Amino acid sequence: MKTSTFSKILASLVLATAIALMGVFGSSTSTAYAQQGTPMPGGPRATAGAKLAEFNKEMYDRAQSVLKSLQQIIDKANQAANKTQEWIDEVKTKGVNTSEAEAALATFKTQIAAAQASYDSAKATLDAHAGFDNNGNVTDRELARQTILAVGKSVRDARQTLTKATVDFQKTMRDLLKKYRENRTATPKP
């Protein structure tokens, strides 16, 4: 049985999207360790307040890094959506009914937009840096804590939205490919 160009393109698209997004999600959760022999700020006699301030500064720096990574994930999701749209346009010119794929893509784009809104909220909160000075040092512990918690919630919301969107989109596209293949083999050629 020969596979059609349609099947090959759809399978490639689903696989490429899965690999790209899994790679990005997997790489953004790595653990970082301090160098050995790096002295603790303030030495062993540092006060609890100084340790807490250092912890909050580290959380601020980490939040900036996480936001950068999250924007890259959103950008990759948008690229996958654009490639899918190009594929739909190409297949549509061949007379294939693409309404289900278009509906899945529209849902995917809506979820990407929701994740982008959560990202924008987190970025605005961090850029306001309530409780932090311009260098990320804590000026007000309670405000700094609230800032970090708000950013964390927005980032979690964005990641959950993107993860669900990606899984749902990939499942829908796989199901469409399977359905197309079944219909293609069930229809006899003249």
Which one-letter DSSP state was computed for residue 28?
Answer: T
Please report which confidence band the pLDDT of residue 30 belongs to, taking 50, 70 and 90 as the band edges. very low
Please give the model's pTM, rounded to 2 decimal places.
0.69
- pLDDT tens column, 38-86: 555 555 555 777 777 788 788 888 989 999 999 999 999 999 999 999 9
Please report which confidence band the pLDDT of residue 181 belongs to, taking 50, 70 and 90 as the band edges. confident
Cα–Cα distance list, 168 to 21, 28, 100, 107, 108 (Å): 13, 21, 13, 9, 8
CA dihedral 146, 152, 154, 158 (to 10 degrees): 180
